[in-house]
């Protein structure tokens, strides 16, 4: 390769693929995506602050429920932004980088932040080896990254999601953290969530009435968490109920899909037999 060839190759690589002015214009949907990313960053900061302050005071670190609740509220707000950015993008004009911003924000809020929460939750206990906690956190992060990359490349015939959507996966991980003490079974459940995200199980896409139900569910969880933070003496029963329902929902959909496919196979066998 000559110097001229190298120069022309570099020029082709650096040439913009679209109108530069339009690429730098942020739409309303992009603002929601950035808000999602900011919520994920702040959630990590809150959890890190909990560990730093406890270690500065001396003694053993034990995550304070108020810090966890604040981080979860931030992630739920981020999930609300993520739910609305697609709706806003379809209603109004989206920018050229909207899809990329959405995926990058999801990696922060629903990939890295839950993974960091797992480390804070289980990394300071003697009951579970730290490498096991780290492996579960890494599985959530990598599963989420693969899930988002596949979402950008693979489209299902039904239009539904292939694999557990990363926001729902993050909420399920949070539910496990809120319900259980760090243990091997709890970390196995976290690994199960990571597997569901990269699986081929189809999850219905929230649109129409289902989107309204999802938004209502998020708002109810935010209200429960706000109540928990403001009045800790009231107990954490609402949080446990909400977390249990979240885990049950995520587990029920694959079972429903398996039963549905089994019924389809039976129906096909009956038609062939007839």
Distance from the Cα of residue 80 to its chain's centroid: 12
Quote the mean pLDDT of the chain. Answer: 77
Angle formed by the axes of helices 28-57 and 98-107, to 10°?
20
Which tops the pLDDT comparison, 112 or 208?
112
What's the rounded mean pLDDT across residues 130-158? Answer: 85
Q: What integer pLDDT is reported at residue 11 of this predicted model?
A: 42
- Using CA atoms, how far apart are residues 156 and 200, in angstroms rounded to an integer? 10
User: In the chain, what percentage of residues exceed pLDDT 90?
Assistant: 20
DSSP 40-103: HHHHHHHHHHHHHHHHHH-S-----HHHHHHHHHHHHHHHHHHHHHHHHHHHSPPPTTHHHHHH
CATH number of 25-233: 1.20.120
Look up the pTM and report it.
0.77
Q: Give 50-104 pLDDT, tens digit per residue.
A: 878 777 766 667 767 778 878 888 888 888 888 777 777 777 776 677 778 888 9
- Using CA atoms, how far apart are residues 196 and 67, in angstroms rounded to an integer? 28
Q: What integer pLDDT is reported at residue 142 of this predicted model?
A: 95
Q: What integer pLDDT is reported at residue 251 of this predicted model?
A: 76
Of 35, 167, 37, 171, which Cα lies nearest the Cα of 108?
37
Q: Give 210-220 pLDDT, tens digit per residue.
A: 667 766 776 77
pLDDT exceeds cutoff 70 at 132: yes
Domain ranges, ordered by start, for the chain: 25-233
Asked if 119 contacts 133 with a C-beta cutoff of 8 angstroms, the reply is yes
Q: What integer pLDDT is reported at residue 102 of this predicted model?
A: 85
């Amino acid at each position: 390769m000559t110097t001229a060839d190298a120069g022309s190759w570099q020029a082709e690589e650096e040439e913009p693929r679209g109108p530069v002015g339009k690429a730098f214009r942020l739409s309303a949907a992009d603002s929601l995506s950035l808000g999602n990313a900011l919520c994920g960053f702040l959630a990590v900061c809150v959890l890190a602050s909990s560990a730093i302050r406890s270690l500065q005071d001396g003694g053993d670190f034990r995550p304070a429920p108020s810090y966890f609740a604040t981080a979860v509220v931030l992630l739920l707000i981020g999930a609300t932004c993520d739910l609305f950015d697609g709706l806003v993008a379809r209603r109004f004009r989206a920018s050229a980088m909207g899809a990329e911003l959405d995926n990058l924000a999801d990696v922060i809020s629903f990939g890295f932040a839950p993974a960091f929460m797992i480390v804070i939750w289980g990394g300071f206990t003697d009951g579970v080896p730290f490498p096991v906690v780290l492996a579960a956190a890494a599985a959530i992060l990598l599963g989420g990254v693969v899930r988002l990359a596949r979402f950008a490349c693979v489209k299902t015939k039904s239009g539904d999601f292939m694999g557990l959507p990363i926001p729902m996966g993050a909420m399920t991980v949070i539910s496990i953290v809120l319900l259980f003490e760090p243990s091997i079974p709890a970390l196995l459940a976290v690994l199960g969530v990571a597997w569901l995200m990269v699986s081929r199980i189809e999850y219905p896409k929230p649109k129409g009435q289902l989107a309204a139900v999802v938004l209502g569910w998020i708002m109810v969880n935010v209200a429960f968490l706000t109540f928990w933070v403001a009045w800790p003496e009231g107990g954490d029963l609402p949080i446990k109920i909400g977390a249990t329902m979240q885990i049950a929902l995520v587990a029920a959909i694959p079972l429903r899909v398996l039963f549905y496919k089994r019924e389809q196979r039976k129906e096909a066998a009956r038609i062939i037999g007839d």
